[in-house]
A and B are shown apart, each in its own frame.
Chain A
Amino acid sequence: MTAPPRRPPPVLTDDNEGFWTAARDGRLVVQRCRGCGARHHPPRPMCPECHSVDLGWEEAAGTGVVYSYALLHHPTHPAFEYPVVAALVDLDEGVRLVTNVVGVDPHEVAIGMPVEVAFEPTADGFAVPVFGRRGGG
């Protein structure tokens, strides 16, 4: 029997639930304005470019590069293994995500590293996008 996932689930709001429910289904989406086409992350209720409130979700390619990272050692939380590899990933669509890099020796993570999306389950049946080195390896 496998232990249930301990990673904390996202907190859903009216403005973010499209992102997280897609992630639960294994899809990485980016908010896109149906008025002017601008992409936004974090998602928001109004497009700051054109003030449209007609915003939708577009599936992302799932590829990007590490913009920055840190190996978090202390303090610890029981839901995570340490060091936590915290990262900022710039998606090819031009938005940035806070995430984890997984499946890589933490000391090999570097700014500029090409990555691709994967999903990890959370408590309460959700999943969150994380990133592994692109092309395996």
Chain B
Amino acid sequence: MTGRLADAAAIVGLGQTEFSKAAGRSETQLAAEAIVSALADAGLPVSAVDGLVSYTIDPVEEIELVRSIGAPLLRWSSRAPYGGGGSQGVLLHAAAAVAAGVADVVVAYRAVKARSGARFGRAEVSGRATSSHAGTTAGQWCAPYGVLTPASWMSLDATRYMHVSGATSEDFGRAVVQMRAYAAANPNAHFAGRPITLADHQASRWIAEPCIRLFDCCQETDGAVALVITGADRAADSRAPVAVAAAAGAGVFEEEIASNHYRPDLSVMDSSVALAGQLFGAGGVARDEIDVAMIYDAFSPILLMQLESLGFCARGEAKDFVADGNLGPGGLLPCNTNGGLIGEGYIHGLNLTGEAVRQLRGESSNQVDGATTALVTASRTGVVLRRG
């Protein structure tokens, strides 16, 4: 068993709304708009849709969505666990569904009002010990100590990572400067036209000292992204298919998304190590085939940690990999060319998948010449996509 699903499915449609600070309409409407747009891009009628897949921490009720888009018959639906960490799991779920023959046309989506609605980054005390499959149950052990937000949860891992690797806030800042440079050239990005310098990064205020400054954080954003997935055999009929060359997910013992601090070595993202084993293991994709990567950058430290845990550089060397310009144009691993979650916005990770599709179609604002293979990861879930 490889733990990956290879070459079974393709992304045949991509749709999204505008990204903004205040969408002025419901998440259900945003999702419906993105799905209709993705189906138009795919050249498929809504009557063809028979599968839906989302991931947890989703305010959109499937039944309300179906009422709005008018899909006449749903054969299958699911939600991948772990919130944004599960964002690439939608492709494993969708590919598995079409490979198993339980659905022919699956729509994957995420709509958020992370800016104008319920913000992740607000300090609130939950009265519940569980998290409805969001993967943050260990947050119950954090709340009495004022550790209330994703940044605060992640900061405990990030400080340890700095201690072990020698990475500094400036090292994180160099990655952020690159994300903001890409975002500056992306008209859909929250930070379109607004690049920063390392000095700007270092002048931004502490969120969690000594690891996370304001500019290290993703931009909570309103908007939606949708993808249409079919079997590989049907993909040739569409305008610009992108093959799901490999899809995998990995959850390891004693690890949640960000609020679980009980693994022996928090400077390593164990689930990313496992994920890389599945995607890049025997018979899988070779790392040097990856032309462009989208790596979940909710906070800049986890971008560097994933570079190491995914095996793109050795332990403790991500700071040098970044400083050498490898995430930028012409580097070894151009990364988050939409500006990432830090620069384009936080559509809970699914906008990274959208950017990978654009790269493989040759339609990115920061196009990597000749990109044919793209990696998208969200710590524990990931896909390799290939130009169709």
Interface residues in chain A, defined as those with a beta carbon under 8 Å from any beta carbon in chain B: 7-13, 16, 41-42, 48, 67-77, 79-80, 83-84, 86-88, 95-100, 111, 122, 128, 130
Instruction: Please pick, from B129, B157, B160, the residue contacting A111 in the complex, using a CB distance under 8 A.
Output: B160
- Contact check, B207 vs A68: say whether CB atoms are below 8 A apart: no
Question: Which chain B residues border A10 with CB–CB below 8 Å?
Answer: 140, 143-144
Can you list 28 A-B pairs, Cβ within 8 angstroms, ordered by A?
A10-B140, A11-B140, A67-B160, A68-B160, A69-B159, A70-B155, A70-B209, A70-B212, A71-B206, A72-B152, A72-B207, A72-B208, A73-B206, A73-B209, A74-B207, A75-B148, A77-B146, A79-B146, A80-B146, A84-B145, A86-B146, A86-B155, A88-B160, A98-B145, A100-B146, A111-B159, A122-B144, A128-B144
**Distance to closest chain A CB from B140 (angstroms):** 5
B211 CB within 8 Å of chain A: yes
Chain-A contact segment, one of B120-128, B237-245, B343-351: B120-128
Interface residues of B in 127-174 (CB under 8 A from A): 127-129, 138, 140-149, 152, 155-160, 163
B261 CB within 8 Å of chain A: yes
Bound complex: CA A11 to CA B125 (Å): 10
- Contact check, A70 vs B156: say whether CB atoms are below 8 A apart: yes
Question: Which chain B residues border A87 with CB–CB below 8 Å?
Answer: 156
B266 CB within 8 Å of chain A: yes
Given contacts A48-B253, A70-B211, A70-B212, 10 further A-B contacts (CB under 8 A): A10-B144, A67-B266, A68-B157, A73-B207, A75-B123, A75-B148, A77-B124, A79-B125, A88-B160, A128-B145
Which secondary structure characterizes the binding site on chain A?
loop
Interface residues in chain B, defined as those with a beta carbon under 8 Å from any beta carbon in chain A: 121-129, 138, 140-149, 152, 155-160, 163, 205-212, 214, 253, 261-262, 266
**Distance to closest chain B CB from A48 (angstroms):** 8
- Contact check, A84 vs B147: say whether CB atoms are below 8 A apart: yes
Question: Which chain B residues border A130 with CB–CB below 8 Å?
Answer: 145
Bound complex: CA A130 to CA B322 (Å): 38
Bound complex: CA A69 to CA B207 (Å): 13
- Select from chain A the residue with minimum beta-carbon distance to B158: A70
Bound complex: CA A125 to CA B278 (Å): 49
Point out which of A77, A86, A130 has the most chain B C-beta atoms below 10 A from its C-beta.
Answer: A86
Bound complex: CA A7 to CA B148 (Å): 12
Bound complex: CA A87 to CA B145 (Å): 9
Instruction: Please pick, from A11, A75, A97, A98, the residue contacting B126 in the complex, using a CB distance under 8 A.
Output: A11
**Distance to closest chain B CB from A93 (angstroms):** 14
Question: Which chain A residues border B129 with CB–CB below 8 Å?
Answer: 11-13, 16
Instruction: Please pick, from B125, B140, B212, the residue contacting A77 in the complex, using a CB distance under 8 A.
Output: B125
Point out which of B126, B128, B159, B205 has the most chain A C-beta atoms below 10 A from its C-beta.
Answer: B159
Bound complex: CA A41 to CA B254 (Å): 10
| A99 and B205 in contact, given A11-B126, A72-B155, A77-B125 (Cβ under 8 angstroms) | no
- Contact check, A69 vs B146: say whether CB atoms are below 8 A apart: no
